[in-house]
Chain A
Amino acid sequence: SQQGEEDPQALSIQEGENATMNCSYKTSINNLQWYRQNSGRGLVHLILIRSNEREKHSGRLRVTLDTSKKSSSLLITASRAADTASYFCAAQHQTGANNLFFGTGTRLTVIP
């Protein structure tokens, strides 16, 4: 499979704590994107990091990318109950494929 993998598969934390999710992929990429999905429906784009970037911030989100290890992490700081959702990484491969390759997702539960 060309899909990436994420770990952990599920994560449960207390409100206010930080949540870290990891993503590994299998081939060289142009960029990697993170999406959030609530209730198994539509996805919302969170952040995009390009292959020549190592770290990117957006509000309470921090994404890192290590192309030598083919891995990325998403950190959510000061979590809130509303952050409860599934989080997916999606890679744009350098192969020229027209689609993103999604990971299997991390189910985050933030306990109030």
Chain B
Amino acid sequence: GAGVSQSPSNKVTEKGKDVELRCDPISGHTALYWYRQRLGQGLEFLIYFQGNSAPDKSGLPSDRFSAERTGESVSTLTIQRTQQEDSAVYLCASSLGDISYEQYFGPGTRLTVT
């Protein structure tokens, strides 16, 4: 079956512009995660959705970052007024259940803020 997909694969934007990143999880996966990975670094947790529960936003670095998820399907991560330090690969993952389940990752969106 289809894996996790993300779009766009690459995004170049000017400082100060807003960007929207999309994630389509695996069908039936109730959990969805967003991570950020700066060049040469490990993954940094951003936000977690689980079913219809309130999302865990504890990893969002500032109020410029927000994310939404429609039911148990597509999610969008929005970064407003982008800054150069937002440049990174943004990875989405989904899983069948909570944190104890294996996470399946998408290919990521490489964001470059000029």
For the complex, give the distance between the alpha carbons of A98 and B95 in Å. 12
Residue of A nearest to B42 (CB): A102
Interface residues of B in 68-114 (CB under 8 A from A): 89, 91, 93, 98-100, 102-108
Contacts A33-B102, A41-B107, A92-B100 given: A99-B56 contact, CB under 8 Å? yes
Q: Does B59 sit at the interface, judged by CB under 8 A?
A: yes
Mostly helix, strand, loop or mixed at chain A's interface? strand
Residue of A nearest to B31 (CB): A98
Encode A1-43 as 1/0 by CB contact (under 8 A) with B. Answer: 0010000000000000000000000000011010100001111
Encode B38-77 as 1/0 by CB contact (under 8 A) with A. Answer: 0101111100101000001011000000000000000000
For the complex, give the distance between the alpha carbons of A43 and B92 in Å. 10
Which residues from chain B contact A102 at a C-beta distance below 8 Å? Answer: 35, 42-44
Inter-subunit contact A100/B42 (CB<8 Å)? no
Contacts A42-B91, A42-B107 given: A30-B100 contact, CB under 8 Å? yes
For the complex, give the distance between the alpha carbons of A105 and B93 in Å. 18
For the complex, give the distance between the alpha carbons of A97 and B45 in Å. 11
Inter-subunit contact B107/A88 (CB<8 Å)? no
Q: Which residue, of A3, A43, A44, A90, has the highest number of chain B Cβ atoms within 10 A?
A: A43
Interface residues of A in 62-112 (CB under 8 A from B): 88, 90, 92, 97-105
Inter-subunit contact A104/B41 (CB<8 Å)? yes
For the complex, give the distance between the alpha carbons of A101 and B98 in Å. 15
Which residues from chain B contact A43 at a C-beta distance below 8 Å? Answer: 43, 91, 93, 103, 105
Inter-subunit contact B33/A99 (CB<8 Å)? yes
Which residues from chain A contact B89 at a C-beta distance below 8 Å? Answer: 40-41
The chain A residues found within 8 Å of chain B, CB to CB, are 3, 30-31, 33, 35, 40-45, 48, 88, 90, 92, 97-105
Q: Please list the 7 inter-chain residue pairs (A to B) with the smallest Cβ-Cβ separation, ordered nearest first.
A: A99-B45, A102-B42, A102-B43, A42-B105, A98-B48, A43-B105, A98-B56
The chain B residues found within 8 Å of chain A, CB to CB, are 4, 33, 35, 37, 39, 41-45, 48, 50, 56, 58-59, 89, 91, 93, 98-100, 102-108
